[in-house]
Amino acid sequence: MPNAPLTTRALLLDMDGTLVNSDAVVERVWRGWAAAKGMDADHVLKVAHGRQGHSTMAALLPDRPTEVNLAENRELLAQETADLDGVVAIPGAAAFLAALAAATVPHALVTSADTALATARMGAAGLPLPAARITAECVSASKPDPEGFLKGAAELGYEPADCVAFEDSGAGIAAALAAGMRVVGVGPRAGAHGPTVAVPDLARIRVTASTDGTGGTVRLDFGD
């Protein structure tokens, strides 16, 4: 059955797995970390997707001091920022962002990456950075906490219920749902986590801005 259209006022966009495919880098870095700790890499990666690195470490090693996790997270962020091999755009991402810009749809990036990593990956994928963005430096709690999405909605000037989030991970989808938003789940990981709509990528999404005087709504159609 095809996905029903969604009507909204603003969009909040995750980056990794949603706009940018960075799985190759994430796997290299976190498999290396897991090996150094003697941990199962597949289990580590299941926890890592969508979270800030220190949050992943806290979940996996709950007895470790926070300052140790923060220090190791800085090291991993530096590795990830320098390693752009295999970073590419998700199919349809460039056209989707172009359509949002052309229709002047309010939208913001809400990512667990810091500014340096977000800038590097979006650039490597050939995608423009949205003018509004909530990065790791902007929040006190990582996804699945809803803080980032709530701040993104506030940055754009909309209530959470007037926003649709685009996410790929369990942690990200949980964060957006907890913020009171509808969620478009993108990619192979998303469907298992209860998004409002699930799509394989961004290739067949059609963006139509309202012209009927209803206050700047946008309709999202998801194709077949």
**Model confidence over 130-167: pLDDT tens digits?**
999 999 999 999 999 999 999 999 999 999 999 999 99
Q: What pLDDT score does 224 carry?
A: 61
What pLDDT is stored for residue 25 in this prediction? 94
pLDDT digits over 11-57, tens only?
999 999 999 999 999 999 999 999 999 999 999 998 888 899 999 99
Residue 2: per-residue pLDDT: 73
Please give the average per-residue pLDDT across 122-126, as a whole number.
98
* Cβ count within 10 A of residue 24: 14
* Cβ(116)–Cβ(81) below 8 Å: yes
For residue 165, the model assigns a pLDDT of: 98
Please determine, for residue 214, whether its predicted confidence score (pLDDT) is greater than 60. Answer: no
pTM, entire model: 0.92
